[in-house]
């Protein structure tokens, strides 16, 4: 697989995550640490799925664990601060991309039963190729969370 686009997607995500004044989501959604913990959780699960396929297993992929606030907070607590959490996101993305880069075409074509939830709605409930799962990170997942972080930037005060 070619992970050039996926590797490139992490730069903007991590740049925004490093900004000092990211606040809380106006809609009660995730804060920056929770976004990073979610990305880390998804990346680790995708890596595990890819390695399981290579090993001959037939794994499933379900992102609900990466949406659970208690799990996200556990991940956050284990790193202690956003800088360490972001560094682990960077390192995990490298591992995931290295694994994906080495996938044989036959492995990338394996159908993986997938259950994906997004914005409290089922987005996918059917088998998809491992390639589609990984490419989806570059196409929408990482850029979507980059925008989510941008939306946490402080708003300029309206002129009075």
pLDDT tens string 34-64: 999 999 999 999 999 999 999 999 999 999 9
User: Domain boundaries in the chain?
Assistant: 4-150
What span, in angstroms and rounded, lies between the C-alpha atoms of 138 and 133?
A: 10
What Rg value do the Cα atoms of the chain yield, rounded?
16
- pLDDT of 77 strictly over 90: yes
What's the pLDDT tens digit per position in 81-132? 999 999 999 999 999 999 999 999 999 999 999 999 998 899 999 999 999 9
Q: How confident is residue 26, by pLDDT bands cut at 50, 70 and 90?
A: confident
What span, in angstroms and rounded, lies between the C-alpha atoms of 158 and 131?
A: 46
What span, in angstroms and rounded, lies between the C-alpha atoms of 158 and 160?
A: 6
CATH class, domain 4-150, is mainly alpha
Pairing between β-strand 121-129 and β-strand 111-118 as defined by DSSP bridges: antiparallel
Backbone angles phi, psi at 100, to 5 degrees: -65, -40
Asked if 148 and 141 touch (Cβ cutoff 8 Å), the reply is no
- 0.85 cut: is pTM over it? yes
Nearest of 86, 74, 91 to residue 32 by alpha carbon: 86
Helix/strand/coil (H/E/C) assignment for every residue in the chain: CCCHHHHHHHHHHHHHHCCCCCCCCCCCCCCHHHHHHHHHHHHHHHHHHHHHHHCCCCCCEECHHHHCHHHHHHHHHHHCCHHHHHHHHHHHHHHHHHHHHCCCHHHHCCEEEEEEEECCEEEEEEEEEHHHHHHHHHHHHHHHHHHHHHCCCCCCCCCC
């Amino acid at each position: 697989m070619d992970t050039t686009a996926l590797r490139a997607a992490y730069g903007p995500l991590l740049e925004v995550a490093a900004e000092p004044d990211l606040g809380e989501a106006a809609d009660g959604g995730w804060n920056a640490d929770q976004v990073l913990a979610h990305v880390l959780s998804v990346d680790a699960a995708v890596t595990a799925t890819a390695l399981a396929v290579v090993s001959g297993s037939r794994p499933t992929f379900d992102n609900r664990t990466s949406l659970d606030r208690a799990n996200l907070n556990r991940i956050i607590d284990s790193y202690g601060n956003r800088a360490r959490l972001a560094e682990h996101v960077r390192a995990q993305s490298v591992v995931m991309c290295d694994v994906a880069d080495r996938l044989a075409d036959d492995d990338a074509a394996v159908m993986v039963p997938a259950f994906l939830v997004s914005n409290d709605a089922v987005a996918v409930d059917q088998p998809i190729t491992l390639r589609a799962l990984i490419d989806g990170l570059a196409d929408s997942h990482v850029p979507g969370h980059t925008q989510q972080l941008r939306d946490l930037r402080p708003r300029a005060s309206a002129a009075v």
